[in-house]
Structure 1
Amino acid sequence: MSGAGAVESVNGTTGGTGPGDGRPSGPRGAAARGRRRPLAVAVLALSLLGGTALPAALAPPAQALGEEDDGWLPNLISPEQEAQIGAQQHDQIVAQYGGVYDDRGLGAYVAEIGSRLAAASGTGADSYTFTVLDSPIINAFALPGGYVYVTRGLMALANNEAELAGVIAHEMGHVIARHGTERMSRGMIAELGTAILGSVFDSPIAGGLAQTGAGLWLSGYSRDQEREADSLGLDYMRRAGYPPIAVGAFLGTMGQMEDLQKKLGKGGGGFALMATHPQNAERVEAAVAQAGGNTDAAWQGRLGFGRTAYLNRIDGMIYGDGPKQGYVRGNRFEHPELRIAFDVPDGYGLTNTPEAVLIKGPGNAQGVFDSDPRSNPTPAGGDPLIYIRDVWAPQQQVKGLERVEVNGQPGATGLVDLRSRSGAQTVRLVAIRANGAFYRFQFSAPYNQAGAVDPAFERIARSFRILSAAEARRIEPLRLRVVPVQAGDTSASLAAQSALDAPKTDRFRVLNGLRAGEEIAPGERVKTVL
């Protein structure tokens, strides 16, 4: 859940123009500085916030993730327009993912790897902008025009430089093959019909498509596009001097992470790379075969491929939530920059995202915590009751609307009955004015369960409080630490000493790419979290 802190660092950016032959082209600005902004409004499928689905003309292409391409279609976007799209979307992507990670050295390191791969691809470093995003989410992606992003969450999962290079090379493959604008063109043809074919880029419709946001570019490529990006990326790696077989190792680690998430019942939460880049046995085997090895051999490279330099670079990197996002620690969410906190009862889980904190309860009980971005001036004259009635849910009949006080802060609450595809829902709205902003809880449960879970919802809302300056100063992020393995150390013993969440040993093994039956050895350096 992003806070109001600005990111003032420029991170690993290259600039210039590229050739006009279908490869990335256009001027490059510096990596965007994060804007000082309040917490963003959550976008919910079941929402009272007035949100609606995108009009068909602005919606991403309907092609489902993993489907085969159904024939060639023309790319309606020129290379020059690609550069314009990327430049328009860049600030939005950076803001959505918590800003640029504030470590110039790490950004320069990633840009150096990217530049080496760019030279090997024949496009040149000046055709790309490489950015490390300050997000714990495990993801990497690219925008048209050569904007390539990796999150610090992904960098924490990689175990050597070649694995990271494989990820970057794959994203460059998508850029060079122009997959993003292929999908955009497919959507334009499917949704807008032949009327769009003669339009120019600066027309209202095409301009609107360029502004649809990150969802269009992060919604997943077809299987054929993934295969092509894999093939191109492996070729760039080989030409740049990286062992392509490292791709198989990282795909294996991705598979381990996916299995762990399923075991924990999280369905891949916090692991967006699996949503946009599907990992499967066929893809691992194909990548390893093209690299000239076998699946088992891919795992033998965990300790090589530039591991020492890579571990030195990521040692001390923030792990998990950062100060701008706030922290989920057990049953508590606390945000040192905004100086707020709240708790959930046992049996409830918290997931922090850049837009909101998601609350999952028993059964189908769930909630969202966020803030209204319109905090200057505060809407509704600062009156929480008027805010709910006239600003937050003006089109809804709010039952039992009343003023409340929450740990000294003025608030209001009320109930709304809704019907959705899953049936009747009862939604409790809570607005609290604190620190010049409205903080909001939106809880929902099936109509027949609402009475049972509403006391827990009330308890969560009433736990909201303002942190003192001293309390806020004591809240520190967790950091990735590289430690030497001593005689007698095991995965279990080092995991037990870490700040990793349970199951600690499973998380430690995935973090270090340890295959089933493989154990750490004295003298080796491993990643832990402290």
Structure 2
Amino acid sequence: MKWPALSLALLLASSLLAGCAVNPATGRTNFVMMSEQQELDLGRRYNQEIAKENPRYADEKLQAYVQQVGQRVAVHSHRSNLTYHFTVVDSPDINAFALPGGYIYIHRGLLAYLNSEAELAAVLAHEVGHVTARHSVQQQSQSTAWNVLGQAVAIGTGVGAASDLTNVVGTAFVRGYGRDMELEADGLGAQYLARSGYDPQAMIEVVKVLKNQEDFARDQARLKGQPAPPSGYHGVFDTHPDNDTRLQQVVGPAKALAGGSQVVNREVFLEHLAGLPFGDSAETGVRRGQDFYHAGLDFTLHFPEGWGLVNRPDAVITHSADKMAFIAMSMDGRKPSAAPADYLRQKAGGQRLAVEEPLQQAGLQGATAVLPGNPARRVAVIYKDDKAYLFVGAIRNRASLETQDGNFLAVIRSFRPLKKEELALAQPLRLHLTQVKAGQSIASLARDSKLPGSKADVENRIRLLNNLYPIDEPKPGDWLKVVR
């Protein structure tokens, strides 16, 4: 029997809807198109790619501690059969995330703002909740389903636009985890905290930390006349967490599971943070004002006043204030045998170079040129030790290269080895612990801080580090984190 095209489309769609499974964490039926083994394989593949962009923080004692705390909550989860991997990422970003199958990352930038082992456990338990509820698998399945369903409708109706419309709807439907999934992970994480001996209230405390960060970022943007930044890790809470009804509802039931003695371990946790880099690390390079220093690779860069810097594992990118002009520097493997000018021509892939010029600076050999095109780009290479450093500068929206070429050349020509007196500048700011004495205040602690920024910004940052934002003061005897 020959099926009509529309019937075939409906059959394809209905077969997708058969891809349902009982969620191991919630007991509800969810739409998924992936077996557990496929999920594990996907997680392993993603983990290999993520590791390239998220360097592991080189402190094995801290790594072991985070793995121990994470495993303590994971063993009490709904998918305790999985092998969980908890990794501290060498990044100042305030973030944590989970991959399918039990790969969980927490950035040291978020660690710096937590204040107890229970809060660390809450972050890790929240991410375990995403894994046990298979949130990433649900998203992947829904995205695939919308795409296939769109194709089926297009086949059945002969209207290609239907596929485009369905893809748009599907993309909107699966964008981000969304508030519901975040709350579900909070509720599951609170259960795992209670079962492993931690206070489920720590989940609320972590959300307070994140909410304070969001409020601080919005206040800073308002003072500068800038638009409010997008919401960060975990999702938005418009109200204070203490007053958020849905958050209280998902965390509340876990408190009934908690035993009499609940672990907080504030001092143990703080001891593990002592010496943690705050902001940039020596391994990734340190920004000081408009200068960038890298101790391991022994170089420094200077970028124009008002320009920003993005420090990535694969590149250092400096950009104009409006983010229309940028120049990226990357390390292109071992120094080639070709002369610098020949190297640039090889990199151009047969395209003609213009305005070629040799570079000789601080005993280093290099070359620079313009790569014509729309837009034209400033390119350069500098050989140092056994490595080649490649620079590419460009302007968005096809603006004229001449408007920023002087700045691009200034960045390129600032590249040189560190001087002996600059080695200290290549070392990061670090967290230190101090016990508050009678009469000490946030203002007095701020005077001794090495944090950059105005007096108000430094005070706010110390409060954020110690869960005292926006106006609280410490009590004598309290242990606080300070930055020196």
> What is the TM-score with the length of structure 2 in the denominator?
0.76
After superposition, the C-alpha distances for 1:311-339 in whole angstroms (9 at most, x for unaligned) are: 12212222222222111122111111111
Higher relative contact order (CA 8 A, sep 6+): 1
AA aligned to 2:391 is F
Structure 1: where are the runs of 5+ without partners? 1-19, 25-71, 197-217, 294-303, 420-424
CA–CA separation in structure 1 for the residues paired with 2:415 and 2:110: 32
Contact 1:134 1:151 in 2 (8 A): yes
Match of residue 462, structure 1, among 410, 413, 421: 413
1:176 offset after TM fit, Å?
0.5
Contact 1:23 1:79 in 2 (8 A): no
What residue is the counterpart of 1:47 in the other structure? Answer: none
AA aligned to 2:306 is G
1:192 offset after TM fit, Å?
5.7
1:486 offset after TM fit, Å?
1.4
Query: How many residues end up aligned between the 2 structures?
Result: 419
AA aligned to 2:438 is A
AA aligned to 2:93 is I
CA–CA separation in structure 2 for the residues paired with 1:195 and 1:452: 47
After superposition, the C-alpha distances for 1:406-440 in whole angstroms (9 at most, x for unaligned) are: 33322222334665xxxxx5532222222222212
1:59-458 equivalences under 5 Å are 74-99=31-56, 101-124=57-80, 127-191=83-147, 220-264=176-220, 274-275=231-232, 277-281=234-238, 284=241, 285=244, 286-292=246-252, 305-373=264-332, 375-376=333-334, 378-379=335-336, 381-391=337-347, 393-394=348-349, 398-416=353-371, 425-445=375-395, 450-458=401-409
Which structure is higher in helix share? 2
Structure with max Cα Rg: 2
The percent of aligned pairs where both chains have the same amino acid is: 33
Distance 1:444 1:474, change over 3 A: closer
Contact 2:314 2:331 in 1 (8 A): no
Contact 2:22 2:30 in 1 (8 A): no
CA–CA separation in structure 1 for the residues paired with 2:92 and 2:403: 34
SS in 2 for 1:120: coil
After superposition, the C-alpha distances for 1:104-123 in whole angstroms (9 at most, x for unaligned) are: 33223222222221233243
AA aligned to 1:385 is A
Which one is further off, 175-184 or 405-414? 405-414
Contact 1:484 1:524 in 2 (8 A): yes
1:159 offset after TM fit, Å?
1.3
Contact 1:160 1:305 in 2 (8 A): yes
After superposition, the C-alpha distances for 1:382-410 in whole angstroms (9 at most, x for unaligned) are: 4333333332x437554423333233322
Distance 1:440 1:256, change over 3 A: farther
1:497 offset after TM fit, Å?
1.2
AA aligned to 2:124 is I
CA–CA separation in structure 2 for the residues paired with 1:325 and 1:134: 8
Distance 1:225 1:122, change over 3 A: closer
SS in 1 for 2:370: strand
AA aligned to 2:129 is G
Distance 1:343 1:166, change over 3 A: same
Structure 2: where are the runs of 5+ without partners? 1-20, 153-173, 254-262
Contact 1:140 1:273 in 2 (8 A): no
1:290 offset after TM fit, Å?
3.4
